[in-house]
Amino acid sequence: MRLLLFYLVLVLSQGFLAALLAPLPPPDLFLIAVLTLLYRLPAWQLVLVGYGFGLVQDVIGHGALGVHALGLAAAALVATTVRAQLSQQGFLERSLAVLAAVAGKWAVTFVLLVWLSGGVGDLGGAAAVAALDMAFTVVAAMALLPWGFALLARTRMLQRELL
């Protein structure tokens, strides 16, 4: 129940922070929700969960359907690749995995922006948004990921031996 409440608070906070920080991009709490499952799910399942969370974000938000979904799927893939290269789960390793995930999300988003707009004219503004999003998401993730990991440790759901 607490885990479900945690994810619900993340979804509601995403909309609240978007309104509160109106000219600035809010931290991507959907990405943080996906990364809470980083040490619990195999890579292919995490990519599917990332795609599903991204579709929910696309349906709740506005914009082209599938952009956030592909971005979060790419973020999950990059995060699992970085996690596989690291030996521990400390602060530095978590921050590196989050930074790599956000960079992977924005790499795919840039490709999709170029494809959907038909040119590279707007990438300067998107790069500024990406930098702010990256900074805010890493800071928010360092505060929220330990809380999510602790909630997942308390529950018997999604244990590796059960998957």
Q: What is the pLDDT of residues 46-103, one digit of tens each?
A: 999 999 999 999 998 877 899 999 999 999 999 999 999 987 778 888 899 999 999 9
The predicted model scores a pTM of 0.89
- Residue 103 has which token pair? 């960079």
- Does 161 have pLDDT greater than 60? no
pLDDT at res. 155: 76
pLDDT band for position 153 (50/70/90)? confident
Q: What is the pLDDT of residues 16-38, one digit of tens each?
A: 998 898 889 999 999 999 999 99
Residue 51 · residue 73 · CB < 8 Å: yes
pLDDT band for position 125 (50/70/90)? confident
20, with CB counted inside 10 A (0-12, 13-18, 19+), is exposed
The label of the residue with tokens 């990059």 reads 78
